[in-house]
Every structure is written in C-alpha cells, then in structure tokens.
Amino acid sequence: MSEVQAISSAAEFINVPIKYKGKVREIYDLGEHYLIVVTDRISAFDYILSPAVPDKGNVLNQISKFWFEETAAIQPNHVVHADIEKLDGIVAGGSEELLKDRFMVTKKAERIDIECVVRGYITGGGWRQYEKTGQINGIDLPAGLRKNERFEKPIFTPAAKNDVGHDEDIPFERMEELVGKELAAELRDKSLRLYEYAHAYCEKRGIILADTKFEFGIVDGQVILIDEVFTPDSSRFWAKEKYAYDIEIDGMDKEPVRTYLLNSDWDKNSTPDPLPAEVVAETTRRYRDIWRRLTQD
C-alpha cells in the first residue's frame, strides 16, 4: 500500500446522516443498509490519540473484507458490497480514492450484546485471571500452565458488551442467562469454528492467532457475523519467530503505541500528548505487515 492521507473522520466526505461514531468506525445510515467507514483514528487505554495513523483504516477494512470472504462458506456475514462505484451521490465528488479501501456497505443487523472471545493461548487478561484464581471466566484450568502456553483446545470466554467503559468478562452460564441457552451454544460453536479455521490459516503463514473476538447480529432470524473479523484491533497476532513462554510477546498490532505510552510520563488520567512521528510510522508499518503476511503469498 502506498502513502495515503490519514483520515480522522469521514463525515466531510459522506452525504448521508451519521448513525454512530465509535473510536475507529463510523456508521452512516443508507436506509436499507449501513455504510461503515473505518477511519485512521487510534485508541489505547480508552483514549483516542492523535495524530491518526496513515493507512490503518484501509488495512483494517481490507483485512476484514478478506476474512469475511474467506469464511463466508462456514459463517454468513453482514457484507453487502465494498464497491465505491455503487456509492454514486453518497460519497462527495473527488473523495472516492480516499474512501475506496476503507468502507463496507452492510446489512442492518440486530446486534447481540455479547463479545464472543476465543482464546487459544493463555496470555493477556486471561493469564492475569489464571494467576489469581486458576480460572478464566469461571473455567477451571490445569495447574502449572505457563504464560503464552497453548491450550489443548481453544476456550470460549464471553464478555457482556458495554457501550461505555470496558466490556465485562462473564461465565458462559451468565451468557446463557442473558441470551438464552440455545443462542449461547450457537454463538460459542460458531466462534470456536471460526477461530480454528483462522488459526490453521495463519499458522501456514508464520503467524500465531493467540486470541480473537467476534460480534454477531441477527437478520431475518439468522445469526450473522458483523463488525470486524480477525484484524489486529480484534485479535492478538504473534509472529511465529517471536513466540516464547513467560514473556510479553511483541504483538503485530499497535504495540508501539502502548509501549510508548507506558514508558512515557503520561498520567493516565488525561488525553496523552500527540504521538511522536516515529511511533506513528512504526505503527503504520506493523499494520501493513500483518496485511501483507495474511493476504499475499
């Protein structure tokens, strides 16, 4: 991908009302469908940072598009199309080149308010739970596991979605109470199947998919995959050559931003100062690298 203009918001380029503005994505109402635009905004520790990271939105959107197509046969999803020529009159004239790789037109689904998390390795927040309790989301795990160790089988560890603040890790039994036993089992099984498919795919390309999260919705009574899928923002990717036990593995994502903030004098209670140019450049490089390694032979 060549050098591109960083897009912090698409509102000035879109001629329809905005429905929702998230940390990264903007949703516009097309009537029958939604237009989802992925900006180059970047967030960490619940703060939106500046400046935007060039190409981040393009990469995230193209990775999701790739995976939605790759997994469509095993799991229907919300994508209608990603053809800029079909947005005549919706995208302001002259903006087509800026937006052509960072949007999807999608079905309007009723979101299921559960974050469907699958963990193939014990790391991150799961490792912290295990250290304290010997469990993750109420699942009893063997004693003596080591940080970053692969589970014998992936585990499903859902979270209840909160539009404000952090999502809440919950036991599967609580998920059953929230959405019903039948739907809970369906979401768990779909999530595990998707993870296992993508893990095998990534492994062939020298990448470990350590964990990931999915969102699902319902259209005409059918459960479909929505939002994003297997991106560096929704998944933990490790380069195979960096895999080891008992360390913090440098992730193939926005790790340079997190590392910079943690090592700075930021007070963690206010919006951080603008990111240094070298941190932004390295973050762009990492997003492009995972895109290349996932999709190009």
Does residue 265 lie within any of the structural domains? no
Q: pLDDT tens digits, residue range 232-259?
A: 999 999 999 999 999 999 999 999 999 9
Range(s) of the domain holding residue 23: 1-108
Choose the final residue of a domain: 108, 141, 157.
Answer: 108
CATH number at residue 79: 3.30.200.20
Q: How confident is the model at residue 3 (pLDDT cuts 50, 70, 90)?
A: low
Inform me whether the pLDDT recorded for 167 exceeds 70: yes
Block residue for tokens 């014998």:
152
Does residue 16 lie within any of the structural domains? yes
Together in a domain, 137 and 234: yes
Together in a domain, 1 and 87: yes
Q: pLDDT > 70: what percent of the chain? A: 98
Confidence at residue 1, expressed as pLDDT on a 0 to 100 scale: 40
Burial of 232 (0-12, 13-18, 19+ CB in 10 A): buried
Together in a domain, 50 and 118: no
Block residue for tokens 């739970």:
129
Contact 176, 187 (CB under 8 A): no
Together in a domain, 128 and 232: yes
Task: Give start and end residues of each alpha helix (H) in the chain.
Answer: 56-71, 96-99, 124-133, 172-179, 181-203, 255-263, 277-295
For residue 68, which phi and psi values (nearest 5 degrees)?
A: -60, -40
Together in a domain, 103 and 146: no
Together in a domain, 101 and 116: no
Together in a domain, 117 and 238: yes
Residues in the chain: 297
| Number of neighbours of residue 243 by Cβ within 10 angstroms | 14
Does residue 278 lie within any of the structural domains? no
Choose the final residue of a domain: 84, 108, 132.
Answer: 108
Contact 10, 87 (CB under 8 A): no
Q: CA 147, CA 119: separation in Å to the nearest integer?
A: 13
Closest CA to 169 of 217, 125, 122, 132: 125
Choose the final residue of a domain: 88, 108, 128.
Answer: 108
Q: How confident is the model at residue 2 (pLDDT cuts 50, 70, 90)?
A: very low
Together in a domain, 119 and 234: yes
Inform me whether the pLDDT recorded for 164 exceeds 80: no
Q: pLDDT > 90: what percent of the chain? A: 93
CATH number at residue 116: 3.30.470.20
Does residue 11 lie within any of the structural domains? yes
Inform me whether the pLDDT recorded for 297 exceeds 80: no
Q: CA 119, CA 131: separation in Å to the nearest integer?
A: 16
Report how many domains make up the chain. 2
Q: CA 154, CA 193: separation in Å to the nearest integer?
A: 10
Inform me whether the pLDDT recorded for 155 exceeds 80: yes
Our CA angle for 100, 106, 110, nearest 5°, is 150
Out of 32-36, 42-46, 144-148, 240-244, pick the least confident.
Answer: 42-46
Dump the DSSP string for 206-225: TEEEEEEEEEEEEETTEEEE
Please give the mean pLDDT across all residues of the chain.
95
Together in a domain, 103 and 117: no
Q: How confident is the model at residue 5 (pLDDT cuts 50, 70, 90)?
A: confident
Inform me whether the pLDDT recorded for 173 exceeds 80: yes
Contact 157, 137 (CB under 8 A): yes
Q: pLDDT tens digits, residue range 109-140?
A: 999 999 999 999 999 999 999 999 999 999 99
What pTM was estimated for this model as a whole?
0.95
Together in a domain, 4 and 34: yes
Together in a domain, 36 and 90: yes
| Number of neighbours of residue 137 by Cβ within 10 angstroms | 21
Together in a domain, 138 and 215: yes
Does residue 149 lie within any of the structural domains? yes
Contact 16, 30 (CB under 8 A): yes
Q: Which two tokens stand for residue 48?
A: 């939106």
Q: pLDDT tens digits, residue range 265-275?
A: 999 899 999 99
Task: Give start and end residues of each alpha helix (H) in 15-165.
Answer: 56-71, 96-99, 124-133
- Interval 173-200 mean pLDDT: 98
Block residue for tokens 């390795």:
121
Q: pLDDT tens digits, residue range 42-74?
A: 999 889 999 999 999 999 999 999 999 999 999
Out of 6-15, 156-165, 194-203, pick the least confident.
Answer: 156-165
Inform me whether the pLDDT recorded for 165 exceeds 70: no
| DSSP count for the chain of H helices, then E strands | 7, 17
Farthest-apart Cα atoms in the chain, separation: 61
